[in-house]
Amino acid sequence: MHERFFLLFAPQVTKFGSPSEIPARFIERNISIRGRVRSVTEGGLEVEHIPIYVPLVSPLLTKRQPVASLDVRLAGVELTPQGCDWLSECLRPPQMVWLRLISRQDQRLHCLVSVSRGSLFNTCVNEEVLRLGLGRTAPLQGLDPHSRLYLKLHRRLLKSELKAERKGEGLWKEDSLRERLTRALSDNTVVKAVKRVLKWMSRVKDR
C-alpha cells in the first residue's frame, strides 16, 4: 500500500533538475509546473523547479532532489535584446513563475511562462513580451505545425504581436519624419559622392 502511494505521487513531488527528468506524459498533456527564477539568459530563463509538497511523501524525496536549474525558453517568441532587459527587470530572482510545458528539445524546455498578478489574474510573459514589441513571433519548436495546439498557440501569440504593431510599440515603433529623412540622405549615393568631392577639395586646399 505504501509503495503504491509513493509511486503515485513521486512524479508530482520530485524536483526536476533537467528537462530529461520530466516524464513524457507531462509534456504531452502540457502540464504546468511551478518554479523559481534563478537568472535571465540571452535566450530565456534559468528556473529552479519547485515541486508540489505532499505530507509524508515529500520528506522522503528531499535528500535525492537535485539543485540544478531548468533551461526555459519562451515558446513561440524570439526575444530582442530589449526583451531580455525587460525580463531582467520584471523577473528578478527569486520570482515565482508557472511553466506550462509545451515541448522539450535537447536540454531545453519551451513553455508558456506565467506570473501571478494578484489572487485572480495571471500574466502570460510570452504574450506580454510580444504586446510590448520586445520580441517577434517564432515557430513553436517541437510541435507539429498542423496540430490544433500549434495553431491555437500561434494565433494567440500573433494576436499580441499585431497589437504591438498597430500601436507602434517597441521594435514596431516608427521613426520620426526627421529620422527617416536623415537616414535617406545618408544612404543616398549622390549625397555620398558630393561628400567625397568636398573632402577631396578640402584636402587639396590645405596643401
- Alpha-carbon torsion (71, 155, 134, 183), positive or negative: positive
Q: Are residues 167 and 134 in the same domain?
A: yes
Do 201 and 146 lie in a common domain? no
Same structural domain for residues 65 and 54? yes
Backbone phi, then psi, for 17, in 5-degree steps? Answer: -100, -10
How confident is the prediction for the chain on average, in pLDDT? 84
Instruction: Check whether 157 has a pLDDT greater than 50.
Output: yes
Whether 200 and 116 map to the same domain: the answer is: no
* Residues spanned by the domain of 206: 176-207
Which range of 1-5, 65-69, 113-117 scores highest in mean pLDDT? It is 113-117
Q: How many domains does the chain have?
A: 2
Q: In this structure, are 163 and 100 located in the same domain? A: yes
pTM of the full structure? 0.76
Q: Is the pLDDT confidence value at 192 over 90?
A: no
Give me the pLDDT at residue 146, please: 95
pLDDT digits 0-9 by tens, 11-36: 567 889 999 999 999 999 999 999 99
Cell of 199: 573632402
Count of other CB atoms within 10 angstroms of residue 32: 13
199 pLDDT exceeds 50? yes
pLDDT higher than threshold 50 for residue 9? no
User: Does 154 lie in the same domain as 182?
Assistant: no
Residues 93 and 195 in one domain: no
Tell me the residue ranges of DSSP E strands in 19-172: 32-40, 44-49, 70-74, 77-79, 96-105, 108-117, 121-124, 135-137
